[in-house]
Amino acid sequence: MPTEIEAQLSESGTIVEGEFRSRFVVPPDAVDVLGHVNNTEYVRWIQDAALAHSNLVGFTWEACQQIGGAFVVRRQTIDYLREVVQGQLLEVRTRVEQSTPMSALRQTELRNEAGELVLTAQTVWVFMSLETRRPLRIPPEVKAFFTMPAGR
C-alpha cells in the first residue's frame, strides 16, 4: 500500500533525462515537536521517491516478483540544508547516478518553492534475491528500466 506522499509523487511524477521529478505538500503528521519536519520523514520520502520512480518506469513489485529480485538499502547519507515546515510545497528529484554489477547509487534532492536545495541524499541500493535474500547481479532487464551509468 503506497504512503500518502508516494501516491502524490506517483500522480505528478515525470521523467526528464532519466531523472524522476515530482512535487508534494508537507503534511501535518510529518512535523515534530520542534515545528519542523522530523528527520525520519525525509528517509521515508527518499524511499517513496525511489518507489514512485521505479513504478513510473515499469519496475513494479510485480516485476520484482517475476524477476525474483528487488533493491534494498545498504547505505544512506543525508545532508539536511534548510528547515522545512508543514504546508510547504517541495520538489523531489531522484536518479540512478551510477551502478556496479550488484548495486546502484541513487542521488536524491529536495527543493523548496524558491528552488533552494533543502536536502541531498546518496543511497546505495543492493539488488537482492527474493528467494535467498542474498545479493544478486543486476539483470539486464532491470538495468533496462533505468538509466544506469557504470561505476567510475
> Does residue 49 belong to any structural domain of this protein?
yes
**Residue 133: which domain range?**
4-143
Convert the pLDDT of each residue in 98-113 to its tens digit.
999 999 999 999 999 9
For residue 62, give every residue at least 6 positions away whose Cβ sits within 8 Å of its Cβ, in sequence order, or none.
Answer: none
For residue 80, give every residue at least 6 positions away whose Cβ sits within 8 Å of its Cβ, in sequence order, or none.
Answer: 39, 42, 118, 119
Segment among 13-17, 25-29, 64-68, 146-150 with least mean pLDDT = 146-150
- Give residue 16's identity as a one-letter amino acid code: V
pLDDT at 151: 54
> Does residue 90 belong to any structural domain of this protein?
yes
When pLDDT is averaged across residues 66-94 and rounded to a whole number, the result is 97
- DSSP assignment string, 82-123: S---TT-EEEEEEEEEEE-SSEEEEEEEEE-TT--EEEEEEE
Looking at the structure of the chain, the number of domains it has is: 1
Return the H-helix or E-strand segment holding 73.
strand 69-80
Res. 61 pLDDT band, cuts 50 70 90: very high
User: Residue for cell digits 521515508?
Assistant: 44
Q: What is the CATH number of the domain that holds 28?
A: 3.10.129.10
Q: Which three cell numbers stand for residue 139?
A: 539483470
Total count of residues recorded for the chain:
152
Buried b (16+ CB within 10 A) or exposed e, 93-112: bbbbbebeeebbbbebbbbb
> Does residue 24 belong to any structural domain of this protein?
yes
> Does residue 25 belong to any structural domain of this protein?
yes
pLDDT of residue 152 exceeding 50, the answer is: no
Q: Which three cell numbers stand for residue 43?
A: 528517509
pLDDT of residue 51 exceeding 70, the answer is: yes
> Does residue 148 belong to any structural domain of this protein?
no
> Does residue 37 belong to any structural domain of this protein?
yes
> Does residue 150 belong to any structural domain of this protein?
no
> Does residue 152 belong to any structural domain of this protein?
no
